[in-house]
C-alpha cells in the first residue's frame, strides 16, 4: 500500500480593513441618564434636541413626585457605560 501524502495548507486569517475613525470624527450622540443610568434606548444628535428635552422633562416630573436624590442629565454617549443589554 502506498502512503498518501497530506497537503498542508497554512492557516490564513484574512485581515479586515481597519479605518481609523475616532469618536470626534464621527457624529456625536447624546443620551438621557438618571442617576448615572440610561433611562431609554433613544440616542439624540444634540443636547438641545427637542425630543431629548421632553424626555428629560418627563423624568424631572417623576423625580419631583418621588424624590430619591437622583439627577437628570443629557450626556455624550459612551459605548462602555451607556450600552443596552
How large is the average pLDDT for residues 2-31?
69
**pLDDT tens column, 49-84:** 999 999 999 999 999 999 999 999 999 999 999 888
**pLDDT exceeds cutoff 90 at 23:** no
By CB neighbour count within 10 A (0-12 exposed, 13-18 middle, 19+ buried), where does 32 fall? Answer: buried
Helix ranges, the chain (H): 50-65
Cell of 24: 470626534
Kindly indicate the confidence band of residue 85, based on its pLDDT and cuts at 50, 70 and 90.
confident
Cell of 41: 434606548
pLDDT tens-digit map of 28-52: 999 999 999 999 999 999 999 999 9
Q: Are 55 and 40 in contact (CB under 8 A)?
A: yes
Determine if residue 13 is left, alpha or beta; phi over 0 gives left, psi from -120 to 50 gives alpha, anything else beta: beta
CA distance 21 to 27: 11
Amino acid at each position: 500500500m502506498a502512503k498518501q501524502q497530506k497537503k498542508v495548507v497554512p492557516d490564513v486569517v484574512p485581515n479586515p480593513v481597519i479605518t481609523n475613525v475616532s469618536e470626534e470624527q464621527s457624529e456625536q450622540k447624546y443620551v438621557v441618564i438618571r442617576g448615572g443610568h440610561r433611562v431609554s434606548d433613544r440616542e439624540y444628535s444634540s443636547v438641545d434636541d427637542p425630543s431629548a428635552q421632553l424626555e428629560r422633562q418627563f423624568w424631572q416630573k417623576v423625580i419631583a413626585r418621588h424624590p430619591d436624590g437622583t439627577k437628570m442629565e443629557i450626556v455624550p454617549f459612551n459605548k462602555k457605560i451607556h450600552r443596552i443589554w
